[in-house]
Chains A and B, each alone.
Chain A
């Protein structure tokens, strides 16, 4: 039996710790390291992409606001136009469409709508009624 001599208490403790450790052999350490590094690189790229997507969404939201404004302006102009024209039963011929069927797999759930939508729906219904009466 060999007797080991240690210079001081610290070296002794370290040696004891070393003796109790187990090691697992890694077959391809370089490959693992490469994978981890590439993964962290890709995660940084993902975060950059998130910023890109956020910017696109901001732009899209601004464009949607523009469109909303334009639609409102069109509605005002059409209402103005309506004032000039006589009340007649003339209607534009309906656009020709192929037969379209809407197939719904799930039953439509009733959603609580904000009062603004309800008001618009009521207005739409009133217009449709008027059109039907013509």
Chain B
């Protein structure tokens, strides 16, 4: 078939094609929305993990101070 030739769609199929196209478009929008939601959740999860890391470091720092005070009192 000629690659640059005109393409024709039968008129009775045309309506179906338009309908399917509209459905595909709607589905794509839905999928895009879901991806956005996944991204929001992912960012939320990353934020929580960052906070988790910070808190863990804080606990570590505090316990290090306690450890130093208890076991190496001359260093405090």
Query: Do A and B originate from a single complex?
Result: yes
Chain A residues proximal to chain B, CB less than 8 Å: 24-28, 31-32, 35-36, 38-39, 42-43, 45-46, 49-50, 52-53, 56-57, 59-60, 63-64, 66-67, 70-71, 73-74, 77-78, 80-81, 84-90, 134
On whether the beta carbons of A63 and B48 are closer than 8 Å, the reply is: no
Q: A26–B8 contact, CB under 8 A? A: no
- Complex-state Cα separation, A80 to B13, whole angstroms: 12
CA distance A38 to B66 in the complex (A): 12
Known contacts A39-B63, A46-B56, A134-B3: A63-B37 contact under CB 8 Å = yes
Nearest Cβ in chain B — how far from A54, in angstroms?
10
Enumerate chain B residues within 8 angstroms of A39, measured Cβ to Cβ: 59, 62-63, 66
Contacts A38-B62, A81-B24, A86-B7; A26 near B69 (Cβ below 8 A) = yes
Q: Which one of A31, A38, A74, A80 has the greatest number of beta carbons of chain B within 10 Å? A: A74
**Smallest beta-carbon distance B21→chain A, Å:** 7
Chain B minimum-CB-distance residue to A80: B20
Contact A63 B34 (CB under 8 A): yes
Q: Quick one: CB contact mask for B44-71 with A, threshold 8 Å, 1 for yes?
A: 1100110110011011001101100110
Q: Is A53's CB under 8 angstroms from B52's CB? A: yes
Q: Complex Cα distance A35/B51, Å?
A: 19
Q: Contact: A27 with B62, CB < 8 Å?
A: no
Q: Find out whether the CB atom of A71 lies under 8 angstroms from the CB atom of B31.
A: yes
A38–B31 Cα distance when bound, in Å, is 45
Roughly how many angstroms separate A55 CA and B17 CA in the complex, as a whole number?
42
